[in-house]
């Protein structure tokens, strides 16, 4: 693990020496780690292929996480942190991806790379402190939105308050088998509280202000169901709910998932008519990784329910089996498409950068 971090630091230094500039990534970029990491942990292993491939994917997720964290620390050292990650009121909620991605990284190390277990406890402590920082700025930001009536730009990114909080539950319970029940209950209750606050604010935004589906319905709104899926996964792993309550909750999440994806399909059709097939559906945006993450989390929740909860209803069993059998293919396809969009975006950005430098020279 330290070798990876050391290599990335050397890369940053060499890049600076050669280009006279540093790499500062977007706040929400850590959603890549969340999506790829959860895929490597819970989706990929359900394919009947050698597990080494998913360890490689997991190692890639850790490397990306380390790269991003060094970039965020660099922005702090260069006194660019506020401008990049904090000054925008809604944008600062994206810091929640740092907490969630670190939780995923800890779980990956615990499951796939126990030889690095010495770094687990320091990461757990750092991530817990990072969550406290995010908790404080989230409360402050929500109060600012309420008091100053700045809810027009509110969207599903606020659900990262719930996602980051529940990621701690998953992290703690993966590191320690018999983790404290009261802390689990407190964090899950906090997750629900954040969720309902976010729901209230988002509903208020879409009822108070005018909006268009193709423009104002943002990609992070997929966390309507994604935040509930991670709560569900936390509930199962911690044993806080009864089996009957878990099943009821899973059905509710399933219905919300279906409703949201119907809205997304309608939005996709409208965007295709308005902008064309490519511009309407295949333009890269960092926030799109949250969509893959939410799909992975619903798959994870379903997997945990099927593996840990006994039930009699045949339709639930068949529905879950269908989700697990076909969902992994859908998620894999979405992941491949998103990686292709990312690669194209990076190449285009590099080409534009070179063109700008050339024009300045000429």
pLDDT digits (tens, 9 = 90+) for 311-351: 767 888 889 999 999 999 999 999 999 999 998 888 887 65
pLDDT of 21 higher than 70: no
User: What are the domain boundaries of the chain?
Assistant: 2-361
- Alpha carbon of 303 to those of 7, 43, 133, 171, 342: distances in Å? 36, 9, 32, 17, 29
Share above pLDDT 70 across residues of the chain, in percent, rounded to a whole number? 90
Token readout for 73 is 């620390």
Confidence at residue 132, expressed as pLDDT on a 0 to 100 scale: 97
Q: What is the pLDDT of residues 25-44, one digit of tens each?
A: 899 999 999 999 999 999 99
The lowest-confidence range among 95-104, 126-135, 214-223 is: 214-223
Which CATH number is associated with domain 2-361?
1.50.10.150
User: What is the token pair recorded at 281?
Assistant: 């559906």
152-207, pLDDT tens digit by residue?
A: 889 999 999 999 999 999 999 999 988 999 999 999 999 999 999 999 999 999 99
* CA pair distance 201, 203, nearest whole angstrom: 6
Each residue of 299-317: pLDDT tens digit? 999 999 988 877 767 888 8
Ranges 128-132, 224-228, 286-290, 313-317: which has the least confidence: 313-317
- Residue 279: the pLDDT is 85
Contacts for 32 with CB less than 8 Å, ≥ 6 apart: 64, 68, 289, 342
Q: What is the pLDDT of residue 358?
A: 38
């Amino acid at each position: 693990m330290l070798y990876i971090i050391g290599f990335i630091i050397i890369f940053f230094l060499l890049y600076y020496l050669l280009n006279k500039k540093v790499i500062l990534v977007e706040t929400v970029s850590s959603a890549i780690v969340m999506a790829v990491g959860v895929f490597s942990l819970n989706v990929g292993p359900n394919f009947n292929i050698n597990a080494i491939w998913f360890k490689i994917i997991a190692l890639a997720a850790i490397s990306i996480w380390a790269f991003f964290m060094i970039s965020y620390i660099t922005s702090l050292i260069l006194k660019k942190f506020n401008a990049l990650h904090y000054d925008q009121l809604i944008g600062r909620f994206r810091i929640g991806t740092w907490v969630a991605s670190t939780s995923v990284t800890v779980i990956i190390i615990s499951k796939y790379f126990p030889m690095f277990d010495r770094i687990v406890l320091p990461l757990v402590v750092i991530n817990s402190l990072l969550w406290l920082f995010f908790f404080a700025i989230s409360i402050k930001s929500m109060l600012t939105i309420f008091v100053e009536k700045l809810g027009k730009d509110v969207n599903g990114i606020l659900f990262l308050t719930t996602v980051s909080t529940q990621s701690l539950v998953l992290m703690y319970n993966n590191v320690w088998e018999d983790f404290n029940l009261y802390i689990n209950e407190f964090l899950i209750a906090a997750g629900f509280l954040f969720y309902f606050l976010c729901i209230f604010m988002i509903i208020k935004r879409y009822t108070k202000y005018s909006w268009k589906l193709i423009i104002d319905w943002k990609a992070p709104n997929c966390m309507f169901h994604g935040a509930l899926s991670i709560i569900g996964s936390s509930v199962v792993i911690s044993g806080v709910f009864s089996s009957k309550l878990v099943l009821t909750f899973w059905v509710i999440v399933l219905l919300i998932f279906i409703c949201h994806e119907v809205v997304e399909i309608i939005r996709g059709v409208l965007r295709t008519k308005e902008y064309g097939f490519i511009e309407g559906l295949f333009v890269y945006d960092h926030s799109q990784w949250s969509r893959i993450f939410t799909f992975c989390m619903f798959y994870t929740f379903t997997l945990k329910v099927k593996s840990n909860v006994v039930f009699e209803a045949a339709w639930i069993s068949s529905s879950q089996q269908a989700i697990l059998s076909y969902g992994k293919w859908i998620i894999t396809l979405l992941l491949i498409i998103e990686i292709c969009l990312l690669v194209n975006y990076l190449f285009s950005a590099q080409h534009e950068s070179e063109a700008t430098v050339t024009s300045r020279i000429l």
